[in-house]
Structure 1
């Protein structure tokens, strides 16, 4: 299950490139799941997802939507790129982590052995947000320790660095959403951690 905001959806063509890369590497016994359909990225791919535009982790944690999505789709692995809109909305890292705690608990209630991949999210530099770049860096810094403490033997949390070497000016359309280069960078960032999770790592 790809889970996130408009960076994951709308249309989130990094997911299409990731799916194609898996196919090209003969990793075909997979099913991307979600209640949202693909939006078209130039070729056919398994585009089911939970990439909801404007989504905040802090909002999602207060609601029951994730529980419904999990119940409807029953994933074994969740790929989560979430927190960008929280930073944009001036939420503090500890508040976002508190929300992620609840979301992970919901995932494990759905499947005790859920494998969770969480992104250190891409840079954020939209017009009018002078503190977004720093806010994203501060949020990303606290993710590894949180993931290590929240991980357990049955349900490992793996941190995926989607931030490193991601050029916000050259790889986004608007300081937020990936362009073609950004989509390829994200697909490459997710590939190895996802393959490891698929193969049982």
Structure 2
């Protein structure tokens, strides 16, 4: 049985009232993956904006495996120290990672963030030497439209992330870089220039599903058109 763990920031944890891309990917895998699988992780909640805390269980559809390791305002910096224990405790096989926007926006530059990617991978492998990791590059948000230095850091980090994944990938523990959906538009696929709305959730789920299929033959391509229709 494959055990998938979503790891991410606010785009992954989601907030009260949302489905999340985690839900969309679970729906897809139920139909597209031929074998048994589980979604695992140490957390289950959404972020409650009114309380400014990750304490909500008010999913648009709560009837799905809600486990994850994601946090509002958390990045590679925050997850690197946590990932080893999370992988070990929940016996994860595949990490689905969407991190970096918070790091670059508030904590670390591109090189420092890339160093935390290395630490994250090392800790995950220490816990599970055959761990598989899929990561999504940082999608520039609305801030990048007016803050040129920030936009440059995002672009630079994405280059460093691609190089790190190419250099660190091993046959027994492969690292796979997903592709930012070509049709992703922060003005129509988010509700605030950063966080995905329903169409954005489908497109982020598709990015991971398509990477899993194209890279490792897991499941099938994501039918975003049917999902959005």
TM over 0.5: yes
**Higher-Rg member (1/2):** 2
2:173 to 147, 152, 155: 155
Matched, 1:185 2:192: no
Alignment RMSD (CA, Å): 2.4
2:113 to 85, 90, 96: 96
Name the residue aligned to 1:60. Answer: 79
TM-score when scaled to structure 2? 0.77
- Structure 1: distance between partners of 2:63 and 2:203: 20
Q: Secondary structure at the match of 1:120?
A: coil
Give the aligned length.
198
- Structure 2: distance between partners of 1:134 and 1:116: 25
Q: Deviations over 1:51-97 (max 9, x none)?
A: 11110212433xx3222222221101111111110111162211111
For the 8 Å contact 1:88–1:129, the answer to whether it is kept is no
TM-score when scaled to structure 1? 0.87
2:25 to 1, 18, 28: 18
Name the residue aligned to 1:32. Answer: 39
- Structure 2: distance between partners of 1:138 and 1:127: 13
Task: Report matched runs for 1:161-200 at 5 Å.
Answer: 161-162=179-180, 164-195=182-213, 197=216, 199=218
- Structure 2: distance between partners of 1:155 and 1:139: 22
CA deviation after TM superposition for structure 1 residue 199, in Å:
4.1
1:41 to 60, 65, 71: 60
Structure 2 unmatched runs, 5+: 46-56, 220-229
- Structure 1: distance between partners of 2:199 and 2:151: 19
For the 8 Å contact 1:77–1:197, the answer to whether it is kept is no
Q: Secondary structure at the match of 2:13?
A: coil
* Cα pair distance change 1:124/1:154, threshold 3 Å: same
Q: Secondary structure at the match of 1:78?
A: strand
CA deviation after TM superposition for structure 1 residue 8, in Å:
0.9
* Cα pair distance change 1:127/1:119, threshold 3 Å: closer
- Structure 2: distance between partners of 1:96 and 1:147: 13
Matched, 1:107 2:124: yes
- Structure 2: distance between partners of 1:28 and 1:51: 26
Name the residue aligned to 2:225. Answer: none
Structure 1 unmatched runs, 5+: none
